[in-house]
Amino acid sequence: MLGTRGAGGPGEVLVRVRGGTETFLAWSDEPLERGTTVLVIESRGTRQVVVMAWTDPLLADGDGGAR
């Protein structure tokens, strides 16, 4: 995650696609800091996505933190 600006406009995310990584413009409701793990929840068309902060429940420990 390269960061988003919430209502201030899009940021950028790196998305794992077909064994590689591609950069997309990313929109979010709230600003997200660089390095945040995100979940893509919507496509806005050509190389634009809507994201939200995400903690993978399969990787989380009992306290909700990532292992």
Residue 47 tokens read as 């190389």
Domain that holds residue 38: 4-53
Q: pLDDT tens digit string along 2-16?
A: 677 777 789 999 998
pLDDT value, residue 23:
94
Count of domains observed in the chain: 1
Q: Which residues contact 40 (CB under 8 A, 6 or more apart)?
A: 13, 15, 49, 50, 51
Residue 59 in domain: no
Residue 65 in domain: no
Residue 34 in domain: yes
Distance CA 41, CA 2 (A): 17
Residue 40 in domain: yes
Predicted TM-score of the model (pTM): 0.75
Q: What's the gap between Cα 34 and its chain centre?
A: 10
Q: pLDDT tens digit string along 10-67?
A: 999 999 889 999 999 999 999 998 888 999 999 999 999 999 999 988 886 655 554 4
Distance CA 1, CA 33 (A): 8
